[in-house]
Amino acid sequence: MRLILFTLLFLLGQFLFAQQDSLPPQKEVDSIKVKTLDSVKVKLKERDSLKLATKDSLKTKQKDSLASDSTALADRKFIKNVKQIKKVDSVFIKDYKIVNYARDTTFLDTTLTIQKEYKYNYIREDDFELMPFANMGQPYNELGKTFSQNPYYPRIGATAKHSRYFEVEDIKYYNVPTPMTELMFKTSMEQGQFLDALLTFNLSRRLNLSVGYNGFRSLGKYRYEQAESGNFSTTLNYSTQNDRYGLRAHIAAQDIEGQENGGLLDREQFEGDLPDFEDRSKIDVRYTDANNRILGKRYYLDHYYKLVNHKRDSTDKNPTSLAIGHEFNYETKFYDFEQARLNDAFGEDPFVTPIADRARLKTMFNKGSVEFSNRTLGKVTGSIGLYTYNYFFNSILITDEGTIPNKLEGEEITVGGGYSKNLGRLSLEGNINYTISGDLTGNRLDAMARYRINDSNVVFGGIHISSRMPDFNYLLYQSDYRNFNWYNFDAFEKQQTQSIKFGFDSKWLGQIEAEYSALDNYTYFASTATQEQIDAAQETAFVKPFQETNTINHLRAKYTKEFKWRKWALMNTVLYQEVTQDNQVLNLPQLVTRNTLYFSSDVFKKAMFLQTGVTFKYFTSYNMNAYNPLLGEFYIQNNEEFGGYPLMDVFINAKVRQTRIYLKAEHLNSIFSEPNYYSAPNYPFRDFVIRFGLVWNFFS
């Protein structure tokens, strides 16, 4: 059956290229151009009829002076209307603006590129440095790490469940000339679909609203691995006509839920490639009664007022201004783990059954800022922030080893500053934060410089220094399973990170980025299980948080380059990593590579743009992190290596007007390769599957 599907997919590509162009020619444009209004056409017709009537009347007889004055008045009115018509601008795709958290503005992109192919997935980001699990919506194992982009404040934890959780920095704001809708659809693995819908519209030139919903459900191929989510968000973006006052706000409500089966009970059923287990639903899994879930609600507001808004003329792009701002964020988040019956994989003697663990985190953040901008000095910002937190469980736990409290609460007072300046071809940017009161955070410094050598070459570099406590679930956790209860707030130190990076971006040579990081007090999860306990499938029962007292050095270099020849292209991305450490606590593959050979062409007299090709992805074998469903976290294991196998995808994508159509055969080489591909120990990667989807933009 798999060979038949692959043959049909291959023939479909040949069929499309063999077709005779039968459709009428159509201009290939990526812009939406609003044509002359119907009322304008009516006025033009009125002008023509008026001129014709005047000409006929002059041929017959001359009108009296009053009639002549009326005709002249009508002509003057028509000329005035035509001048007004000329002022009506066409609407292009670049007028549909998207604003991110840092207030950087881009515009809607309806093109079809290889980068769009890489981002057409569950997280809608390039997953080059990630290894997905078998089912859609499950965790992603990390193939690469960068330590210069960590958040300033600790988070609740359960990081494996946050791949599609929208943080404050992920929300986008809009400004559009006409209502715009974007729909993304993609089939899931089994019995389900994925839909990402957005509607945005302007009530006036300065006021925009948007409503978005991201939801999916996928049963999966293996037993008890169903995943589903629903993410709702609504945004508001407003500024006055003189841009003196501006406001951004959003509300987000998110629910991410998944069944957990613990992985394979007997690997031989998968690796033996037996006909009885080609139907993956027949393979035995470790448990069939566990669920975990992330729930979150957030209210966010960011607004400013310019006390001084001096603008000499319309060409002055950097006027002198002085503004005050306020940022507010209130968020509640829950992480749940539930299991109907006792399972030895998490311990043999729980306090109660059924298991019902719930961690709660409530945070509120207020920041006041002052910003001065000047053409000579650049932009200077100063701020003071108040962060309050309450991370808690239901009850205090008293054990023979001591008392484990039920909450961590407090407040952090921070001061910060920022600077940015363009000096010709040189751009400078920096931000600093320092905690003057509080125990969770310490400091953070980010500095970046970018120099444009010429139109084709850019060099850039930066440094990052930060200090903060690890996420809350490392510091305090309570569970109905006895082994998963700890309090480390007084025992753990702040994690220290120092990073330096350098990059070179060339139109002809490609882009290379290198980053070196030194880590102190690196915090991680690991299992203390003995070999006998591991053989009894109890490794996950002894997972605990630890801190590495020795310094860890991490070096990464990433190179990206696309080679083009006529309608053919070869896109290459290579990541090299080296870790120096006294203890094996940071495990990453040394080499990750992805190569895509594809063909692009207009077909059907340019009515359709077609892009088809094959992608190879490979990473060297290493001690891949294992997954703990109770914590929703990955933990270090040094017992066995995984990797060292290729992943091959074949795709056929097309673009018709503002619609992009995607068809992909994922992991095609699993048809003829050995079943030794894993996303984590005991969690196989997905088998061969054909998936279809589209991204569709509507304009009105």
Span 186-196, pLDDT tens digits? 999 988 999 99
* Mean pLDDT on 399-408: 88
Q: What is the pLDDT of residue 43?
A: 43
* Mean pLDDT on 123-144: 95
pLDDT band at 121 (very low <50, low <70, confident <90, very high): very high
CA angle 262, 157, 219 (to 5 degrees): 40
Top pLDDT among 492 and 1 is at 492
Closest CA to 110 of 700, 696, 597, 524: 696
Task: Note whether 138 and 221 are within 8 A (CB).
Answer: no
Q: What is the pLDDT of residue 275?
A: 86
pLDDT at 444 over 50: yes
Which own/partner pairs from 641-647 qualify as long-range (CB within 8 Å, at least 24 positions apart)? 642/678, 642/680, 642/681, 643/589, 643/619, 644/619, 644/620, 645/618, 645/673, 645/676, 645/677, 646/616, 646/617, 646/618, 647/616, 647/617, 647/618, 647/677, 647/685
pLDDT at 638 over 80: yes
Cα torsion 507, 508, 510, 515: sign: negative
pLDDT in tens, 257-309: 999 999 999 999 999 888 889 999 999 999 999 999 999 999 999 999 999 87
Q: Please list, residue by residue across 550-580, b when 16 or more beta carbons sit within 10 angstroms of its beta carbon and e when fewer do.
A: eebebebbbbbeeeeeeeebebebbbbbebe
Q: What is the pLDDT of residue 610?
A: 96
- pTM comes to 0.86
The top-scoring range by mean pLDDT among 48-52, 531-535, 639-643 is: 639-643
C-alpha 405/C-alpha 480 separation (Å) is: 15
Q: Give me the percent of the chain exceeding a pLDDT of 90.
A: 77
pLDDT band at 249 (very low <50, low <70, confident <90, very high): very high
Closest CA to 266 of 281, 283, 253, 282: 283
User: Secondary structure of the chain: what % helix, strand, coil (to 5)?
Assistant: 15, 50, 35
Report the mean per-residue pLDDT for the chain. 88
Top pLDDT among 66 and 114 is at 114
pLDDT at 39 over 70: no
Query: What are the counts of helices (DSSP H) followed by strands (DSSP E) for the chain?
Result: 7, 37
Tokens of 73: 């008045």
pLDDT at 90 over 80: no
The top-scoring range by mean pLDDT among 46-50, 58-62, 500-504 is: 500-504
Backbone angles phi, psi at 49, to 5 degrees: -65, -35
Cα torsion 533, 686, 337, 409: sign: positive
The top-scoring range by mean pLDDT among 9-13, 56-60, 191-195 is: 191-195
SS3 readout for 530-550 = CHHHHHCCCHHHHEEEEEECC
Of 80-89, 160-169, 179-188, the least confident: 80-89
Measured between alpha carbons, how far is residue 463 from residues 193, 431, 452, 467, 497 in Å?
42, 11, 19, 14, 11
Of 38-47, 155-164, 298-307, 442-451, the least confident: 38-47
Q: What is the pLDDT of residue 149?
A: 87
Q: What is the pLDDT of residue 311?
A: 67
pLDDT at 105 over 80: yes
